[in-house]
Amino acid sequence: MTYHERRPPPALRPFIECVWVVSGPLVSSGRAPERVVPDGCPELIVHLGDPFARRIDGRWVVQPRAFLAGTLSRPWLLRAGRRVDTIGIRFRAGETTGVLPVSMAGARDRERALAGIVGRAAAGALLRSLRRARTPAQKFAAAEHWLAARLAEALPRRSTSARAVALIREGRGQARIDDVARSLGWSRRRIERAFARDLGIRPKVYARIVRLNAVLAALDDAERPRAVDLALEAGYFDQAHLLRDFRILAGRTPRSRREGDGELARYFTDPCRLKALLAGE
């Protein structure tokens, strides 16, 4: 599969990390599954080719044509269709509600049809403009134009959880949630309500995701043998703690090569991408 991504224009950057496009030739046999590791970033997905299918309770369930993938708290196992032509809009953690009229409460680990969020007319407009596009650059432009229109309609605001998200990210997931709340002058209940609305997960879960991504960002091929040392530096108690979080959140071991995540998913755990994510870039 061929993968391209582009950072959005400045007006969209507080809300959107990037727009990506992946395409692949028609194949007669199934590709290897993709393992998508949680990173705290919801994504708006549009399948122009054959939709992917997701493994749910032991069976493959075909995804909608256009949907919002809520914040993941566990890895998703995906299987590409015969012809891949997919566009993804990756939101920053907690910032989806600044662009789309949606509460993330109840969206964790779920697909929500785009038409049910923005209406059939707006969802149809995005699909039509993307179908007319022939090149990755044209698809990027179409997605950015559509997002700019949503941004104008939303009278955007930064999410209420933005400062808490930044503090957890800057602390690489090691700060206690009570301490984060206290530094903001918030109660524990207030920070949990903000995360429920803006991310759909508890702040403690987000901190675990950030901590895991901090290890993944350091795990290039040269550092892989030092996985346990890196984990201790990242705030894990011991090797068993590291292995448990990797099994739950990544669905693999620390020493597994990220290429095993799949042709597409390996780009999401690229160390350069994760380092920029942790830096808030």
The tokens describing 128, both together, are 């039509």
Q: Is 90 exceeded by the pLDDT of residue 39?
A: yes
Query: What does the block give as tokens for 122?
Result: 């707006």
- Mean residue pLDDT of the chain comes to 88
- Give the residue-averaged pLDDT of 39-52: 96
* Side-chain half-sphere exposure of 206, counting CA atoms within 13 A: 34
> Tell me, what's the pLDDT at 281?
86
Given a cut of 80, whether residue 28 has pLDDT beyond it is no
Q: Which CATH class is domain 2-154?
A: mainly beta
Per-residue pLDDT averaged across 239-265, rounded? Answer: 79
Q: What is the model's pTM?
A: 0.90
182 contact partners, CB below 8 Å, separation of at least 6? none
- The CATH class given to the 162-278 domain equals mainly alpha
30 compared with 245, residue with greater pLDDT: 245
Quick: pLDDT tens for 107-165.
999 999 999 999 999 999 999 999 999 999 999 999 999 999 998 887 656 678 889 99
> Could you tell me the CA-to-CA distances from 226 to 15, 215, 218, 233, 254 in Å, in that order?
35, 11, 10, 11, 10
pLDDT digits (tens, 9 = 90+) for 79-116: 998 899 999 999 999 999 889 988 898 899 999 999 99
How confident is the model at residue 217, as a pLDDT?
84
Of 84-88, 178-182, 259-263, least confident by mean pLDDT is 259-263
Hey, where are the domains in the chain? 2-154, 162-278
What pLDDT does residue 26 have? 72
The confidence score (pLDDT) of residue 226 equals: 60
Question: Is the CB of residue 51 less than 8 Å from the CB of residue 6?
Answer: no
Q: pLDDT digits over 204-238, tens only?
A: 999 999 988 988 887 765 555 566 666 666 666 66
Q: What pLDDT is stored for residue 242 in this prediction?
A: 75
pLDDT of residue 175: 87
Dump the DSSP string for 30-77: PPPPEEEPP-S--EEEEESSSPPEEEETTEEEEPPSEEEEPPPSS-EE
- Give residue 29's pLDDT: 65
**pLDDT level of residue 31 (50, 70, 90 thresholds):** confident
